Amino acid sequence: MEEKNKPAEKVEIKKERNQGQRRGKRKEITREEIVEAWDPKTKLGKDVKTGKIKDLDLILDGKMKILEPEIVDSLIHLKSDLLSIGQSKGKFGGGKRRAWRQTQRKTKEGNVPTFSTLAVVGDENGHVGIGSGKSMETLPARDKAIRKAKLNVIKVVRGDGSFDSVGGGNASIPFKVEGKSGSVKIILYPAAPGTGLVIANELKKILKLAGIFDIYSKTFGKKRTTFNLIKACVQALEKTNLGGEKWFALLE
């Protein structure tokens, strides 16, 4: 009798699994749960976990290496987005831009596809970071990219250096900055409140997550190479950071 019941039990288990899959997507872990379950391995991580360091700017101004993404998660509230670096298939090469760039490797077993993506994270308050991820599937590639973006977070000094403005503010940059990657060169200019983001669509995502909403720009070189365009923009934003004052004051 026990042997006859075994197949019925297996069928019931399969039904339960199928019902669980139909109910919807799996639950995503919240930021609070990640920080609570975090077991820091580095000295910097332990200082953040115990509350010894409570300001991310002290870490960035001190040029300390961030090796755990939970450090950034515990200090600031981040938002993330994927940048369109790939292209879907279309007639006569006219496919739409998409977040995943797909490549294939030829092997004896056949074609092995690989997906790569570029993620940007920021708190809309002067902190932003980018990171790339590559995997055999799309979701692991996205997770890798977001993790690397958290490790590469930089501080962006905001201001209002436009001669058109009289009220001041922090929705623009304080002065003109330049960035270069490969053949792509970009110049960012401060703009008055209400100007908006006069820049490429993919770079708008980076600037919004950095907390910049008014800017003028000028680009040179092969701008269709999205990787280099994004790197040049981040390099330019990094030059706004004069940094170091808070860290040296803390050491004294």
Q: Using the predicted structure, report yes or no on whether residue 13 has a pLDDT greater than 60.
A: no
pLDDT digits (tens, 9 = 90+) for 174-206: 889 999 999 999 999 998 888 899 999 999 999
What is the amino acid identity at position 240? T
* 3-class secondary structure, 75: helix
Q: Please, which pLDDT band fits residue 244 given cuts at 50, 70 and 90?
A: very low
Q: Let me know whether 196 and 147 are in one domain.
A: no
How many angstroms separate the CA atoms of 231 and 252, rounded? 35
Domain count within the chain: 3
Q: Considering the domain boundaries, does residue 231 fall inside one?
A: yes
Q: Considering the domain boundaries, does residue 251 fall inside one?
A: no
Q: Let me know whether 151 and 89 are in one domain.
A: yes
Token pair 């590559």 in the structure block, residue: 134
Q: Using the predicted structure, report yes or no on whether residue 3 has a pLDDT greater than 50.
A: no
Among 155, 186, 206, identify where a domain stops. 155
Give pLDDT, residue 11: 44
| CA dihedral sign of residues 17, 18, 20, 21 | positive
Write down the pTM of the prediction: 0.78
Q: Let me know whether 83 and 146 are in one domain.
A: yes
Q: Let me know whether 127 and 59 are in one domain.
A: no
Mean pLDDT of 59-88: 90
Say if residues 173 and 161 touch (Cβ distance below 8 Å). Answer: yes
Say if residues 114 and 124 touch (Cβ distance below 8 Å). Answer: no
Phi and psi angles of residue 195, each rounded to the nearest 5 degrees, phi first: -70, -40
Q: Quick one: DSSP state of residue 86?
A: E
Q: Quick one: DSSP state of residue 51?
A: T
Closest CA to 78 of 151, 128, 139: 128
133 or 97: which leads in pLDDT:
133
Q: What is the CATH number of the domain that holds 82?
A: 3.30.160.20
Pairing state between β 184-190 and 177-181: antiparallel
Tokens of 143: 């997770």
Give pLDDT, residue 159: 85
Give the range of the structural domain holding residue 150, as residue numbers without chain letter: 78-155
Q: Quick one: DSSP state of residue 197?
A: B
Say if residues 154 and 238 touch (Cβ distance below 8 Å). Answer: yes
